[in-house]
Amino acid sequence: MARLTGAVPLALEAGGHLGPVDVAYETWGELDEAAGNAVLILHALTGDSHASGATGTGAGGPGWWPGIIGPGAPIDTDRFFVVCPNVLGGCQGTLGPGSVAPDGKRYGSRFPIITIRDQVKVEALLADHLGITRWAAVVGGSMGGMRVLEWCVGEPHRVERAVVIAVGAAATAEQIGLCSLQVRCIRADPAFAGGDYYDNAEGPHRGMAIARGIGQLSYRTAAELGVRFGREAQGAEQPLKGGRYSIESYLEHHGDSLLRRFDANSYIVLSEAMNHHDVGRGRGGVERALSRVEAQVSVVGISSDRLYPVGLQHELAALLPRSPEVRVVESLVGHDGFLVETAAVGAAISEALA
């Protein structure tokens, strides 16, 4: 844990300030004397700083990206010092809506609008805190990929290499629509209480579970769901008598699992930050913004991704300096392929960091 702002609070892109800002992070490997071997890993919407259980500073299981970080892994901790922070607005140790404000009360509904750029500003303060002036690489997928791009555009001198996975240069109308529906589900839950539910007996669990179900459908594909579930009933249940189909049980399980570990307000704040993603905002458009990039960028897409289709990665790559080829990972599972297809995604990362 690091406290990154003291007397001077963080100025936000949309206006207002936040502070003090605490950031939870985990590390793996050793920083060399020149501080030149540091790799920044950036998590997606419901991730956290615990990317890997392999010889890191955190405790617990394998983490959200097993097989990617560790000795001899694609992000080799015998070679690199790896840092993974929990994002600003999250709920796993970094300042977010559930954190206690300077007045001693939780932020709740008072937590301001934040953007991907604000999150990167905090990550840059963390780099300063760790004595890292330039990252050997910045790597991330989905919301993490948005932050990788912001690093490359907003802090071009501080990134040597970058791996951008399963994302585009700006949020599309469909992505904004899907996120906004999930946010509306949470806010429509009577237990949401306008965002100030922390002292209540129950939070917006029903709305949160439905929101996660919508999200989960967008992260997977019709083909995969058809193969896995088809029209099968859940166990001995009978849908014609009020029982559930197997796919319904699957979505309920994901909703229930998330609400045990994730704050609904953070889900809203981060979803809306993703909606604001646009590297070209205030920079003369996407093409001009991407022309600032100095890093050697590798772009990776998932063949069946319907939330961030491969076409978005091709559009991104075409506008980047040196127009890198897009590495397409073949997968049936859709957007979640960047988490599931460990071997193929790992191979792409290994090649980028070679």
335 is catalytic: yes
Written as one string, the DSSP assignment of 162-221 is EEEES--SB--HHHHHHHHHHHHHHHHSGGGGGG--TTSS--SHHHHHHHHHHHHHHHS-
Written as one string, the DSSP assignment of 252-309 is HHHHHHHHTT--HHHHHHHHHHHHT-BTTTTTTSHHHHHTT--SEEEEEEETT-SSS-
- Determine the straight-line distance between the first and last CA of the chain, rounded to whole angstroms: 31
285: which 2 tokens? 């458009």
Q: Which of 43, 276, 277, 335 is catalytic?
A: 335
Amino acid letter, residue 220? R
Residue 9 main-chain phi, psi, to 5 deg: -70, 165
Enumerate the β-bridge partners of residue 161. 296
Q: Which of 49, 99, 142, 304 is catalytic?
A: 142
Task: Say how far apart CA 64 and CA 48 lie, in whole Å.
Answer: 8
The SS3 of residue 325 is coil
Sorted by sequence, the CB contacts under 8 Å of residue 240 that are 6+ apart come out as none
253 is catalytic: no
Q: Which of 48, 189, 305, 336 is catalytic?
A: 305
331 is catalytic: no
> Does the N-terminal peptide bond of residue 102 adopt cis geometry, omega within 30 degrees of 0?
no
The SS3 of residue 317 is helix
Task: Say how far apart CA 29 and CA 62 lie, in whole Å.
Answer: 16
Please give the DSSP secondary-structure letter assigned to residue 37: -
Nearest to 316 by CA among 306, 305, 324: 324
Catalytic residue IDs: 142, 305, 335
